[in-house]
Amino acid sequence: MDRIEIYDNGRAEIHTGDGVITVTSPNQAGLRTAAIIKARALGYRPVTRGRLSKLPIKRVLTTALVLAATCALGAASGWIVHGATLSKPATPPKTPEPKIITRTIHSSHLAGANLFTCRTGTDGNGITCTGLNDTGQLGTLTAEITSYEIEELKNKPISIITAGRSTSCAATANSVYCWGKNDTGQATGKPSNTPATPTAVLTGKGEITALTIGAAHTCAATGTSIYCWGDTSNGQIKDTGQTLTPTKMSLPKNIKGQIVTLESSGYVTWAQTKTGQWIAFGNNRAGEIPGAEKSSHIAPTEIK
């Protein structure tokens, strides 16, 4: 059957017995008019108003406004729209919102180990510790206490907290305070059988950018430097059996960036700079440091 088909991409097709004639228009609303004018030029005419013409028009429209305009034109001209219905535009399906199935939070204001936890206040100031306190992990020597707000750190802005087996440390802008088990000097740099109360063990070396506690030693970073103290009998700081007070480590000469991460796995300490360089040092008998020969002590070495 001869017909006119109008598409929603600015194109109309006049189907006649002899073939298909295409009409285009940048104005979608005027496309039907252009097709009718072209059809009339070819000799096609409507029969009577309200009846199918020799050349029925088929159109699928996307908006009610355009459909109303074309229907009005059809009534005035004697042409009718074949197969078109007045309908609302289809609503595209909504993309479902992603759902959180798990969330992992890493916070420098919360630390815990060996049945105790320490956290800062909601404003980031001061520290409260809870849980086991048999070796002063909570910052007080009263073993019966199970929750304690550390008096020495009240109202101090805390930037980092870290916890070892029974020792904790916290950093303010340029000082490191440690407390708890101190038998190898891991809290104060001087060994003692009595647990340590919060003590400023490292201060005046610049802004503290990272902090970690190993099995029995502690390390802190200040910009491009690393200071360590505590037990070194297993080569975790230096190749010596002496207990060290805060000692500046000798880093590879090509390490220039600020150290932003410190992690200890027992007797090995890892550091990472802001530019992504890696440094490792400590006991390497089990080959924990890749690329280094197994040894009781490996000096700070860049790992590539």
Q: Residue 299's domain is classified under what CATH number?
A: 2.130.10.30
In a domain, 91, yes or no: no
- Are residues 252 and 119 part of one domain? yes
Full-prediction pTM beyond 0.75? Answer: no
Q: Is 291 exposed, middle or buried (0-12, 13-18, 19+ CB in 10 A)?
A: exposed
- Are residues 51 and 144 part of one domain? no
Per-residue pLDDT of the chain (304 residues; tens, 9 = 90+): 467 777 778 788 877 766 788 888 777 767 777 777 777 776 665 544 433 345 555 554 443 333 333 333 343 333 333 333 334 455 666 656 554 333 333 346 666 566 888 998 888 899 999 998 999 999 999 989 899 999 999 989 999 999 888 999 999 989 999 999 999 999 999 999 999 999 999 999 999 999 999 989 999 999 889 999 999 889 999 887 777 889 999 999 989 889 999 999 889 999 999 999 999 999 998 888 888 889 999 999 999 8
Domain span at 182: 110-303
- Are residues 138 and 21 part of one domain? no
- Are residues 131 and 69 part of one domain? no
Query: Structurally, how many domains does the chain consist of?
Result: 2
Q: How far apart are CA 119 and CA 130, in angstroms?
A: 9
Q: What pLDDT is recorded for position 69?
A: 35
- Are residues 198 and 62 part of one domain? no
In a domain, 217, yes or no: yes
Q: Where among 82, 102, 125 does a domain terminate?
A: 82
- Are residues 134 and 233 part of one domain? yes
In a domain, 245, yes or no: yes
In a domain, 232, yes or no: yes
Tens digits of residue pLDDT in 126-168: 999 999 899 999 999 998 989 999 999 998 999 999 988 899 9
In a domain, 94, yes or no: no
In a domain, 97, yes or no: no
- Are residues 151 and 69 part of one domain? no
DSSP code string of 209-273: -EEEE-SSEEEEEETTEEEEEE--TTSSSSSSSS-EEEEE----TT--SPEEEEEEETTEEEEEE
> CB count, 10 Å around CB of 137?
29
- Are residues 179 and 138 part of one domain? yes
